[in-house]
Amino acid sequence: MTSLPPVHTQSDLLAVWRQLMEPLGFGGSSVWMLRIQPDRAVVPQVVEIAEVEGPPEPDLTESFAEVLRLLDQDDPGHAYAFLRSRPGTGTADHTDRAWAAFLYDAGRVAGVGVEVVHLATDADVVPLPLDEIGLGRTA
């Protein structure tokens, strides 16, 4: 993986996701995760959770939160950045918003910071902020 710039702003995070996802074009749906250190440097390791078709199961929130807690326990103070990728174009659909809500909620349950969730389609990479998915601000 090439060196990634630090993430100090939403624009920085969007640029990082665009760098990682290009060239755009996806054969299936995935969720991608990055860890951002307290100094805002991006850990040079991306995790892909592949084959995430359909909306997430709500009862998995606690399990996913536990994974985030374990990661944070071993190396505290990181924030987490997530991106959902899928084939096709257009704006965020119900499933995209359900995944974003799930990821924000898992971070809240885990007590860890979650950056703005992003969506990558075959045409673009865009943010899915809390207010766009109907959650508003939780802090």
Element (H, E) at 72: helix 61-74
Q: Is residue 52 part of a domain?
A: yes
The CATH number given to whatever domain includes residue 26 is 3.40.140.10
Q: Is 57 helix (H, G, I), strand (E, B) or coil?
A: coil
Give 97-125 pLDDT, tens digit per residue.
Answer: 999 999 999 999 999 999 999 999 999 99
Element (H, E) at 107: helix 94-110
**Residue 97 confidence (pLDDT):** 96
Q: Is residue 70 part of a domain?
A: yes
Q: Is-above-0.75 flag for pTM?
A: yes
Q: Residue 50 is part of which domain span?
A: 10-133
Q: Is residue 4 part of a domain?
A: no
- Taking residue 133's Cβ as centre, other Cβ atoms within 10 Å add up to 19
What is the distance between the alpha carbons of residues 122 and 86, in angstroms, rounded to a whole number?
7
Q: Which of 4, 74, 65 is nearest to 36 (CA)?
A: 4
Q: Is residue 44 part of a domain?
A: yes
Tally the domains of the chain: 1
**Residue 24 confidence (pLDDT):** 96
Q: Is residue 38 part of a domain?
A: yes
Q: Is 134's pLDDT higher than 90?
A: no
Q: Is residue 1 part of a domain?
A: no
Q: Is residue 39 part of a domain?
A: yes
Are 125 and 118 in contact by the 8 Å Cβ rule? The answer is yes
